[in-house]
Amino acid sequence: MLTGKNLIDGSWVTSDQMAASEDLGGFEFSQATVNQVDTACLAARRDFRTYAGKSRAERATFLRTIAEQIDALGQEITETGMKETGLPEMRLNGERGRTTGQLRMFADLIEDTKYLDTRVDEAMPNREPLPRADLRLTHRPIGPVVVFGASNFPLAFSTAGGDTASALAAGCPVIVKGHGAHAGTAELVGQAIATAAKICDMPSGVFQILQGSGRTVGQALVQHPEIRAVGFTGSLAGGRALYDLCHSRSQPIPFYGEMGSVNPVFLLPNALKARGGAIGAGWAGSLTMGAGQFCTNPGVVVGVKGDDFDAFTDAALSALNDAPEQKMLTDGIHEAYQTGVKDFAALMDEVSSCARSDKPRHSLPAVFKIDADTWMNTPKLQHEVFGAAGVLVECDNTDQMIAVAEVLEGQLTATMHLDDADISFAQELALILEEKAGRLLCNGFPTGVEVCDAMMHGGPYPSSTDVRATSVGTLAIVRWLRPVSYQDFPEVMLHSELQSN
């Protein structure tokens, strides 16, 4: 049952400032104060060493218990999420499964020491001209972490999402800044984590959740001197503002922001000729999935103009013109989408015939066509419109496709549709795209991010703030760890993974 309170140092507390949720019938949520932010950060710092000192087995049990408690609240979480976000029951149930799956995945990960990347150089006392000391390296938790909930994934990228799961697995206390678009869902998941913490006898500062609309709470969190790292999924403007705050501190800290991209799809000539219609229908389905509100939404398609590209376009438009209007996550996201579509329409020819929805918070897809020269020379056209808006970029030849690839900003993904006869050109294109994106795909679509060891969900700026980091998959844990070497330490003082036996 919702309380509308914030979880701080093991207690659910209120504040003098409240915010009502229209989606939940006017239910009010306490907005955290700056003083409460300070209390939470100090509690996280106080309990950091205690939690970091828990065994890997104890932390694994904690993660699995969180998953169990989320499952126990499953139907209430789904029903609340449906009211707040407009997402359908099947989507939220699937996302809940992904959330609990991530928690269990990180539990499995830390039961083995491989993720710690330990290195041992034993002493060489007789080495000439100088002896070598005994050196042993492992990775230790970085400290208290702040995680910002995402608007488009109320479960998998929010309260107990991949950032929180990986940070807790690493041994870091977590403070979650709940997203105002789904404050109720955030609190319910927070309740599950709090219950798990009590069951597992974890310190009260191991997990806390603060609500707060506007920038006050977020800014106070990232600037607090006891915070050591931040995880964020959201807009470029919001992420860049927080990044700047983190790096302007007297003690700068890492900010891992995942901020979206246009995720270009390149249609290579032979694949386009052989199956352009099928690719077009597939692209339409990917573009409109979840009303286009995925950070991996394929917003730009690049191909050589002509009959084959026209066949792709016709198939895509045929599928899109039958697409139902979909409810978007928030009024703000819906308004931004409508504005973005209008801006595109002033600069490009719209080829879709979907009417603009006049139903509150609902949208329909929009597709535009532009020549490659104009697209490359108009930076505004290269920016993401969050929603089901697509841009078809027509090139004169394959050389111009290469030129388009060269001007791309950093992306989360880049896709090539190719046949065997395209391999030579694809190899040339791939060398460019691997500099531009964190994940490259052949003959698929980027929506649907697998949670596994080999997944990279991040990319060069502006898609993310650290090209080396992923927010999905087991590699995500390295964000919350730092390497430490131990020289000539007595065996009994070494961490277990560094001991000889």
Q: Which residues are catalytic?
A: 258, 295
- Residue by residue, DSSP assigns 235-278 as -HHHHHHHHHHHHHSSS---EEEE------EEE-HHHHHHHHHH
Quick check: bond before 88 cis, omega within 30?
A: no
d(CA 235, CA 243): 12
Nearest to 159 by CA among 241, 67, 224: 67
Phi-psi region of 268 (alpha: psi -120 to 50; beta: other; left: phi over 0): beta
Name residues whose C-beta falls within 8 Å of residue 27's C-beta, 6 or more positions apart in sequence. Answer: 2, 4, 20, 21, 184
Structure tokens at 228: 């050591």
Pairing of strands 18-21, 27-30: antiparallel
Q: Name beta bridge partners: 437.
A: 411
Phi-psi region of 310 (alpha: psi -120 to 50; beta: other; left: phi over 0): alpha
Name residues whose C-beta falls within 8 Å of residue 176's C-beta, 6 or more positions apart in sequence. Answer: 146, 147, 148, 149, 158, 159, 164, 186, 190, 207, 208, 209, 210
Cβ atoms 70, 77 nearer than 8 A: yes
CA-based end-to-end distance of the chain = 49
In 119-253, where do the E strands start and end?
Answer: 119-121, 135-141, 145-148, 174-177, 207-210, 229-233
d(CA 374, CA 329): 32
Nearest to 445 by CA among 224, 269, 251, 288: 288
- Residue by residue, DSSP assigns 308-335 as HHHHHHHHHHHHHHTPPPEE-S-HHHHH
d(CA 45, CA 26): 35
Cβ atoms 174, 168 nearer than 8 A: yes
Quick check: bond before 141 cis, omega within 30?
A: no
Q: Give the residue carrying structure tokens 């995925």.
A: 294
